[in-house]
Amino acid sequence: MLRSQKHTLQFKRPSGTSRGVLNTKDSWLVSRWEDAQLVGIGECSIIEGLSPEDPYLMDDRVASLCQVELDGDMKRLIQQNPSIKFGRETLSKSTDSEDPFVLYVNSFSRGEAGIPINGLIWMGSKSFMFDQIKIKLNEGFRCIKLKIGAIGFEEELSLLKYIRSEFTVDDVELRVDANGAFAPKDALQKLLRLSEFELHSIEQPIRQGQWEQMAQLCAETPLDIALDEELIDIISRQEKKRCLDIIKPQYIILKPSLVGGWASSEEWIKLAEESDIGWWATSALESNIGLNAISQWVGSMDTSMPQGLGTGGLYSNNISSPLYIRDAAIWMDPEGAWDLSLLRS
In total, how many domains does the chain have?
2
pLDDT at 16: 61
Q: How far apart, in whole angstroms, are the C-alpha atoms of residue 220 and residue 344?
A: 54
Q: 264: which residues sit within 8 A by CB, 6+ positions away? A: 82, 85, 235, 256
Q: Which of 85, 136, 147, 240 is catalytic?
A: 147
Do 122 and 168 lie in one domain? The reply is yes
What pLDDT does 81 receive? 92
CA 316 to chain centre: 19
Residues (pLDDT < 50) of the chain are: none
Instruction: Reply yes or no on whether 134 is catalytic.
Output: no
Whether this model's pTM surpasses 0.85: yes
For 59-66, which contacts have Cβ atoms below 8 Å and span 24 or more sequence positions? 59/4, 59/6, 59/28, 62/4, 62/28, 62/30, 62/87, 63/4, 66/2, 66/4, 66/30, 66/42, 66/91
Residue 253 lies in a domain: yes
Judge if 189 and 271 occupy the same domain. Answer: yes
**Residues 278, 284 contacting (CB under 8 angstroms):** no
Asked whether residue 105 is assigned to any structural domain, the reply reads no
How much is the pLDDT for 280?
97
153 plus 216 within the same structural domain: yes
Q: What is the CA radius of gyration of the chain?
A: 20
In a shared domain, residues 188 and 88: no
Residue 78: predicted pLDDT: 79
CB half-sphere exposure, 251, CA atoms < 13 A: 21
Q: Cβ(317)–Cβ(324) under 8 Å? A: no
Q: Domain end: 65, 96, 127, which one?
A: 96
Same domain, 294 and 332: yes
pLDDT, tens digit, for every residue of 33-56? 998 899 999 999 999 888 999 999
Cα-based distances in Å from 221 to 44, 123, 186, 190: 36, 24, 12, 10
Which residue in 29, 22, 20, 25 sits closest to 9, CA to CA? 25
Write down the pLDDT at residue 71.
55
Whether 314 contacts 322, CB under 8 Å: no
Does residue 175 share a domain with residue 70? Answer: no
Residue 109 covered by a domain: no
Between CA 134 and CA 310 the distance in angstroms is 17
Asked if the structure places residue 104 within a domain, the reply is no
Quote the pLDDT of residue 74: 64
d(CA 174, CA 43): 31
Distance CA 176, CA 200 (A): 8
Residues 82 and 157 in one domain: no
Query: Where in the sequence is the domain holding 61, given as residue range(s)?
Result: 2-96
Q: Residue 343 — φ and ψ, nearest 5°?
A: -70, -25
User: Domain holding 340: CATH number?
Assistant: 3.20.20.120
> Which pLDDT score is estimated for 18?
53
Co-location of 50 and 174 in the same domain: no
Which residue, 96, 131, 162, sits at the end of a domain? 96
Is 101 part of any domain? no
* Helices 58-65 & 82-96 angle (0-180, nearest 10): 40
**Is 66 inside any structural domain?**
yes
Q: Where residue 68 sits, what CATH number does that domain have?
A: 3.30.390.10
Q: What confidence score (pLDDT) does residue 342 get? A: 79
Residue 136: active-site member:
no
Which among 93, 136, 241, 255 is annotated as catalytic?
A: 255
